[in-house]
Amino acid sequence: MAVKIPHAAVLGAVAAAWRRTFFCGALIASVACLTTCGRPAAPSAQTRTYLMGFSATPPRLDIAAVLKTIDTWRSRGDAALLPLTVPWKSILADTAPSVVVRRDQLELVQLYRSYHFPIVVEIDATDGLAREREAPELVALGRSIREPAVQQKYREYVAAVDSILHPEYMALVMETNLSRALLPRDVYDSLRTMVNAAAAERAAGGSKAILFVSVQVETAWGRLPNTGSFVGIDDDLRDFPFMRALGLSSYPFLGGFTEPEQVPIDYYRRLLSSGSLPMLVVEGGWSSGSVPGVVSSPERQARWIKRHAEIADEARLAALFQITFTDLDLTSFPAPPGSILPLFAQLGLVDETFHPKPALATWDGVFARRRVAK
């Protein structure tokens, strides 16, 4: 259960214009931010162990929105998240993965590096909005990760991301426990084989990235799907033994919690009660508005940011990210009928016009805490 915006489609479309518009666009965005988004909180005497940040996902698909999104959150983060969907159509046609990465991601990463942000990449190889299915581009092509040729292209793409972007952390697949529960078994087995092979190649190639996979926390707690009891992640640790960190995907409001304070303080720590892997929240949040089956409000969302920091402190996380800083204008992100994307449209700390929500001030208060090494 994850929100995955097609970043390649967004950033690939703006890459050609990026150099021409960045300085002007960033200046305009900076001025606008002072009037619409307030200022980050003053430094606090309290501490935190974790990096904090967002991705470049804009409220709508245009250059100005991408630039303003980054410029608005960059003073409220100390790391950048780069969610990537495998560009299956391009790399299975006639475009080398290295060409795609340089064209669609390199300039964005260079921008983040100019802010001295560590980069956390997460690569999604299946359908981020429907874990029971393979990636939409693969399905449309009539292809599958069961094919050795498709697995080879995935490994080439992972190699290009690593060697060109040099991320500090890199997730090779997302929400493995939910995928294992929902995908056809032969597809999951192929996914596991493909990911482990990519990890082995990266290790043999001397990669400096900390490799990991992510798990869906509500699934680990037996809430998505509802098994009635804690499941844990032992299967994921066994299936992906190369992990040097653990990614967490967490949307408690979709897992049956009606109030943020109901979420257990050991919500993350219990997943690794006997281990020592650094943990990173790489996606998650609490909707500021009601969605089908869930009643919420901006005040509830702000309380979740506070509770989330308490849970993060208890687990001594290495990083805490939200994919979206802004709400999504769904007219700009067309989705097929029945898509769950609307469930994630109001996760932003500002709305689609960059107007702050109460949760922004709560986030700023947490971010103001001095970061210390674990």
| Residue-level pLDDT at 45 | 62
Higher pLDDT, 183 or 7: 183
Higher pLDDT, 27 or 357: 357
Could you tell me if 122 and 174 are in contact, meaning their C-beta atoms sit under 8 angstroms apart?
yes
| Residue-level pLDDT at 313 | 98
| Residue-level pLDDT at 276 | 85
Q: What is the mean pLDDT of residues 289-312?
A: 97
Structure tokens at 175: 């929400």
Q: State how far the Cα of 33 lies from the Cα of 39, in Å rounded to an integer.
A: 8
307 pLDDT higher than 50: yes
Q: State how far the Cα of 201 lies from the Cα of 211, in Å rounded to an integer.
A: 12
| Model confidence pLDDT, tens digit, residues 2-42 | 444 444 444 443 333 333 333 333 333 333 343 346 666 66
| Residue-level pLDDT at 151 | 98
Residue with the two structure tokens 């029945």: 338
| Residue-level pLDDT at 44 | 60
Our CA angle for 172, 225, 308, nearest 5°, is: 65
Burial of 305 (0-12, 13-18, 19+ CB in 10 A): buried
pTM over 0.85: yes
334 pLDDT higher than 60: yes
What count of residues does the chain have?
374
Could you tell me if 128 and 344 are in contact, meaning their C-beta atoms sit under 8 angstroms apart?
no
Beta bridge partners of 296: none
348 pLDDT higher than 70: yes
- Tell which residue, 278, 266, 287, has the closest CA to residue 220: 266
177 pLDDT higher than 60: yes
| Model confidence pLDDT, tens digit, residues 58-80 | 999 998 999 999 999 999 999 99
Q: State how far the Cα of 288 lies from the Cα of 322, in Å rounded to an integer.
A: 14
b/e per residue 205-227 (b: at least 16 CB within 10 A): eebebbbbbbbbbbbbbebbeee
For the chain, the domains span 7-371
| Model confidence pLDDT, tens digit, residues 283-292 | 999 999 999 9
| Model confidence pLDDT, tens digit, residues 96-124 | 999 999 999 999 999 999 999 999 999 99
Percent of the chain residues topping a pLDDT of 90: 83
CATH label, 7-371, candidates 3.30.2290.10, 3.30.70.20, 3.20.20.80, 3.90.420.10: 3.20.20.80
369 pLDDT higher than 90: yes
Q: What is the CA radius of gyration of the chain?
A: 19
- Tell which residue, 2, 112, 5, 111, has the closest CA to residue 58: 5
Our CA angle for 41, 42, 48, nearest 5°, is: 80
What band does 94 get if pLDDT is binned at 50, 70 and 90? Answer: confident
| Residue-level pLDDT at 3 | 41
| Residue-level pLDDT at 229 | 94
Could you tell me if 63 and 25 are in contact, meaning their C-beta atoms sit under 8 angstroms apart?
yes
> For the CA atoms of 221, 225, 228, 230, what is the dihedral angle to 10 degrees?
-20
- Tell which residue, 47, 56, 122, has the closest CA to residue 84: 122
Residue with the two structure tokens 């947490």: 366
Q: State how far the Cα of 93 lies from the Cα of 67, in Å rounded to an integer.
A: 31
Structure tokens at 168: 């500090």
Could you tell me if 249 and 284 are in contact, meaning their C-beta atoms sit under 8 angstroms apart?
yes
| Model confidence pLDDT, tens digit, residues 245-284 | 999 999 999 999 999 999 999 999 999 977 789 999 999 9
Q: What is the mean pLDDT of residues 341-356?
A: 97
Could you tell me if 222 and 231 are in contact, meaning their C-beta atoms sit under 8 angstroms apart?
yes
- Tell which residue, 319, 321, 241, 313, has the closest CA to residue 285: 321
Query: Could you count the other beta carbons within 10 Å of the beta carbon of residue 274?
Result: 6
| Residue-level pLDDT at 275 | 72
Mean pLDDT of the chain: 90
- Tell which residue, 79, 76, 64, 70, has the closest CA to residue 20: 64
DSSP for 304-345? HHHHHHHHHHHHT-SEEE-S-SB---GGGS---TT-SGGGGT
- Tell which residue, 308, 219, 303, has the closest CA to residue 255: 219
| Residue-level pLDDT at 39 | 60
- Tell which residue, 155, 264, 309, 277, has the closest CA to residue 213: 277
331 pLDDT higher than 70: yes
372 pLDDT higher than 60: yes
| Residue-level pLDDT at 41 | 62
